[in-house]
Amino acid sequence: MTTTGETPMMTTATDAFANPPRRSWWTKTAPLLGKADALLRKTADLLSPVADLLARYWVASAFFSSGLTKTVSGSFTLFGHTFHYPLSVLPTESTFSLFEYEYRVPLLPSTLAAYLGTAAELLLPVFLLLGLGTRYAALALFVFNIVAVASYPDLMGAGLAQHQVWGLLLLITFCHGPGKLSLDQLIGRLVRR
């Protein structure tokens, strides 16, 4: 028996085992949630390098394809797929006309903008895709993307949405890095040895 203000005491040690405290739903599900979380982390660790590479490929292919339209290019077909490649890295006459009359690149003469824009669209995506100097290439393409949107006032709707997606992927690549499937990572591992 207890008097007022005292805590009740168990009479024997077996009383604690005879009436164990009830387990809450959380204590029952916590181990299961821990296992599910561990599985999700392992899956993310496996897929993350592939996702990084796919993001870099997506943006690089868009910019490189755009660069090819500004140059004299050739093509060949292999297994039913047509591959385009630049025959010259110099802009075409129509590219110079676009930069002179259509695009409004701030602060640069149209001829210089045509050369720089074409070079940026052909070179930077290669570095981005290979994962070589990735953060520099991603930042340069991010700025280039902003200038492209600002230079073409008729860009709206789906075209603007594409540039926004590319900008977001470039920003993520710049902040997150190229991932494990990149030359940056390979060179980093070789240098650390």
pLDDT digits (tens, 9 = 90+) for 35-79: 999 999 999 999 999 999 999 999 999 999 999 889 887 777 777
- What are the structure tokens assigned to 54, written together? 């796919």
Output the pLDDT for position 1: 52
pLDDT digits (tens, 9 = 90+) for 6-46: 555 555 555 556 666 667 777 778 888 889 999 999 999 99
Confidence at 133, pLDDT banded by 50, 70, 90: very high
How far, in whole angstroms, is CA 59 from its chain's centroid? 8
CA distances from 79 to 16, 57, 61, 74, 76 (A): 75, 21, 20, 17, 10
φ and ψ at 4, to 5 degrees? -60, 135
* Separation of alpha carbons 111 and 67, rounded Å: 15
CA distances from 165 to 160, 161, 172 (A): 9, 6, 11
Output the pLDDT for position 10: 54
- In the predicted model, what is the mean pLDDT of the chain? 88
Asked if the model's pLDDT at residue 178 lies above 60, the reply is: yes
φ and ψ at 105, to 5 degrees? -70, 125
H helices of the chain, in order, are 14-18, 25-69, 93-97, 110-130, 134-151, 158-176, 183-192
Asked if the model's pLDDT at residue 82 lies above 90, the reply is: no
* Separation of alpha carbons 97 and 110, rounded Å: 9
Asked if the model's pLDDT at residue 147 lies above 80, the reply is: yes
What's the length of the chain?
A: 193
- Mind giving me the DSSP string for 130-164? HTSSHHHHHHHHHHHHHHHHHH-TT--THHHHHHH
